[in-house]
Amino acid sequence: MPDTVPPQIAERARWLREEIERHNYNYYVLDRPTIPDADWDRLFAELRALEAQYPQLATPDSPTQRIGAPPRADLAAVRHAVPMLSIRSETDATAQAAYAFDARIRRELGLSVKDPPVEYSAELKFDGLAINLRYEEGVLVLGATRGDGMTGEDVTANVRTIRQIPLRLHTPQPPPVVEVRGEVFIRREDFERLNAQLQAQGEAPYVNPRNTAAGSVRQLDPAVTARRPLSFFAYGIGEVVGWELPPTHSALLDQLARWGVPVNDLRAVVYGGQGLAAYYQRIITLRQHLPFDIDGVVYKVNALAWQQRLGFVTREPRWACAHKFPPQEATTTVLDIEVQVGRTGAITPVARLAPVFVGGATITNATLHNEDEVRRKDVRIGDTVIVRRAGDVIPEIVGVVLERRPPHTQPFRMPSRCPVCGSRIERPEGEAVARCTGGLYCPAQRKQALLHFASRRALDIEGLGEKLVDQLVDSGLVRDPSDLFKLDVPTLAALERMGEKSAANLVAAIARAKETTLERFIYALGIRHVGESTARDLARHFGSLDALMAADEAALLQVPDVGPVVAASILRFFAEPQNRQVIGKLRAAGLRWPEGGPQSARACGPLTGKTFVLTGTLPGMTRQEAAARIEAAGGRVSETVSKKTDYVVAGADPGSKLLRARELGVPVLDAEAFKRLLEG
């Protein structure tokens, strides 16, 4: 291999790199190819040949590096120089949120009615994956995902394969360091084409564009990412060294565009709440005609000096807000209304729907909750209904399109007998839920009881899912939870879709579950009205299973949050000879947990008397560990946010609890503040 590159070869390689990048930019960013594909191929082949001959020419910013970097064993963690914050979002379906945001900004800036309207940068909110691109001396040196905001994953090799992302910034000369932040996403058309291709190859298609983009960037093998038609738009910056920033956010994006970074041109500079609302309305009508999915718009105070004055609340900038679009709706038809039997025998009507794609997923089922709900909406088999995928996940039938109701439909009627076991269905006076009276005689209830027993928060038996429980119960191998501990590998391996390996794994998981805690065991029993929280209180109060089983009503009523209804339910459960027998068999099978005496009140510490609610993921700590530490310090952990909550601890990717906390004015702690509080 020659050590030195002849100057004319080096010059030729440099020219080829620039030429190819220029054509890439015209083709992928501007959508205006300037040379035929065949010519591009020739340039590319020539450059690759030169680099093969003189490997020192294969610099990290060479277009050939967009593919062919070796797969990595895992993605390394990268600490962001400047945290990648999330942005506060409003889901108000009207333009109202735009005015509310403007009013808040004016108030916080101390502006009076006499002051002119605030200038904003309004932009699209892309539905993809947030990425940080670090350029040093204009060369792309690092690409990282957002991760938890502080630490992301190194996806440099993958990001290099995205042709819209420049490997080298254009002139005018970029500063020593600039981090570009933006969203990697996929166009609808590209998504469809990719899926057709995957299906043709017999592979599973992706469900929605967002997942495709995220999944493609977080690939281990850059060659796979290279084959994905990903797009990119920048929306901001991270760390900057040696660049005197322009006065406004919009000018900043203009500069990024001049450097060759794709910036969407549906952004606008608007004035006041009215300007924001008008932008929102304009985009909402444009939405369906856009070649990509967006889930809303983003408003930012344009003047960087004002942004600085407004600052941050916990993890969110005060100067920006996302205004999400109303949940997506679609119409479909009701194929059937079936009823399901739950663990407690609750009968739930469920609508089977003709598959329909709403809000990024195909919906085939939607719960109708209970008899009253079906009657209120008067959903019938054959009806055309509007379904909505509200907020995030759970689909909901919004209503029936009565004009399209076919003739001769019948109102839904609750069956009088359980479809699974044939027992009578009863609906107690004044209650909303109808129940199968079959108890554990009903196979459906027995299966649900087993699934509950094995669930993560109970005994946590990994691998014991619905299909398997169906087989175990139907074959008669398992009648109650204690039978699980008698299963062996040959018996299991004889079942459908079960090999030696899975059977051995399951047996091991079952054996592992024998070592448990009293609260988990009590919860696993599935006593009505005794959930996770009550099980913990009972375990603490009585200290041992025998003490709990021996307790009378008066003793049970001493436990916090246990009243007459819950006490009666517990007494009824332990009075049942069959239940006592199963407990005996479980103990004989070797189920064990540490037992102590009754523990009196909670530990005392700096947090005594304080109630916490956790949401999102905390770095370096599981939810359980965080809860344990709060309790060790004398605090209480609750599941729901209310006025009585003292602190909400928000980790990365927080849920609706954070919104509720803000509504109620409950103080919110981020991971850092939480740690400080724990340490006193």
Partner DNA sequence: GATCCTCGAGTTCC
Partner DNA sequence: CTCGAGGATC
When the beta carbons of 321 and 566 are compared against DNA, the nearer one is 566
CB of 364 to DNA, least distance (A): 4
What is the spatial distance between Cα 310 and Cα 291, in angstroms, rounded to a whole number?
Answer: 35
Region 478-537 residues binding DNA, contact defined as CB under 7 A: 528-535
Per the CB < 8 A criterion, the answer to whether 465 and 450 are in contact is no
CB of 129 to DNA, least distance (A): 16
When the beta carbons of 232 and 453 are compared against DNA, the nearer one is 453
Per the CB < 8 A criterion, the answer to whether 151 and 202 are in contact is no
Contacts of residue 135, defined as CB under 8 A and 6 or more positions apart, other chains included, come to: 141, 169, 174, 177, 178, 179, 180
Q: Quick one: the chain helix, strand, coil %, rounded to 5?
A: 40, 20, 40
Catalytic residue check, 377? no
Size of site (CB under 7 A) for DNA: 59
415 binds DNA (CB under 7 A): no
CB of 199 to DNA, least distance (A): 15
What is the spatial distance between Cα 50 and Cα 153, in angstroms, rounded to a whole number?
Answer: 33
When the beta carbons of 472 and 661 are compared against DNA, the nearer one is 661
Region 257-316 residues binding DNA, contact defined as CB under 7 A: none
Mark residues 535-574: x for contact with DNA by CB under 7 A, - for none: x------------------------xxxxxxxx-------
CB of 661 to DNA, least distance (A): 12
CB of 674 to DNA, least distance (A): 19
Tokens 């809000």 belong to residue: 359
Region 108-167 residues binding DNA, contact defined as CB under 7 A: none
465 binds DNA (CB under 7 A): no
Per the CB < 8 A criterion, the answer to whether 526 and 540 are in contact is no
DSSP secondary structure, 29-73, as one string? ISS---S-HHHHHHHHHHHHHHHHH-GGG--TTSGGGGS-PPP-S
When the beta carbons of 56 and 558 are compared against DNA, the nearer one is 558
CB of 562 to DNA, least distance (A): 5
What is the spatial distance between Cα 583 and Cα 577, in angstroms, rounded to a whole number?
Answer: 10
Choosing from 391, 596, 606, 667, the residue that interacts with DNA (CB under 7 A) is 391
When the beta carbons of 287 and 343 are compared against DNA, the nearer one is 343
Per the CB < 8 A criterion, the answer to whether 414 and 434 are in contact is yes
Query: How many other C-beta atoms are found inside a 10 Å radius of the C-beta of residue 594?
Result: 9
Region 210-229 residues binding DNA, contact defined as CB under 7 A: 211
When the beta carbons of 17 and 520 are compared against DNA, the nearer one is 520
Angle of helix 623-632 relative to helix 671-678, nearest 10 degrees, comes to: 30
Per the CB < 8 A criterion, the answer to whether 182 and 651 are in contact is no
Which member of 125, 324, 377, 657 is catalytic?
Answer: 125
645 binds DNA (CB under 7 A): yes
**Measured CA distances, 635 to 314, 619, 641 (Å):** 22, 21, 15
What is the spatial distance between Cα 255 and Cα 443, in angstroms, rounded to a whole number?
Answer: 67
Torsion of CA 156, 157, 159, 163, to 10 degrees: 140
340 binds DNA (CB under 7 A): yes
Choosing from 149, 275, 395, 616, the residue that interacts with DNA (CB under 7 A) is 395
Choosing from 65, 86, 156, 611, the residue that interacts with DNA (CB under 7 A) is 611
Choosing from 362, 581, 599, 624, the residue that interacts with DNA (CB under 7 A) is 362
When the beta carbons of 33 and 327 are compared against DNA, the nearer one is 327
348 binds DNA (CB under 7 A): yes
364 binds DNA (CB under 7 A): yes
Per the CB < 8 A criterion, the answer to whether 346 and 445 are in contact is no
Which structure tokens are listed for 471? 């087989």
Which structure tokens are listed for 314? 């916990």
**Measured CA distances, 373 to 296, 332, 399, 432, 574 (Å):** 31, 19, 11, 9, 34
205 binds DNA (CB under 7 A): no
Choosing from 9, 335, 386, 390, the residue that interacts with DNA (CB under 7 A) is 390
CB-side exposure of 470: number of CA atoms within 13 Å? Answer: 6
CB of 339 to DNA, least distance (A): 8
48 binds DNA (CB under 7 A): no
Q: List, in sequence order, every residue forming a beta bridge with 135; answer none if it has no partner.
A: 140, 178
When the beta carbons of 199 and 365 are compared against DNA, the nearer one is 365
Choosing from 343, 585, 623, 675, the residue that interacts with DNA (CB under 7 A) is 343
CB of 425 to DNA, least distance (A): 13
Q: Which residues of this protein are in contact with DNA, per CB under 7 A?
A: 207, 211, 340, 342-346, 348, 350, 361-367, 369-370, 372-373, 390-395, 430-433, 448, 528-535, 560-567, 611, 638-640, 642-645, 655-657
Known catalytic residues are 125
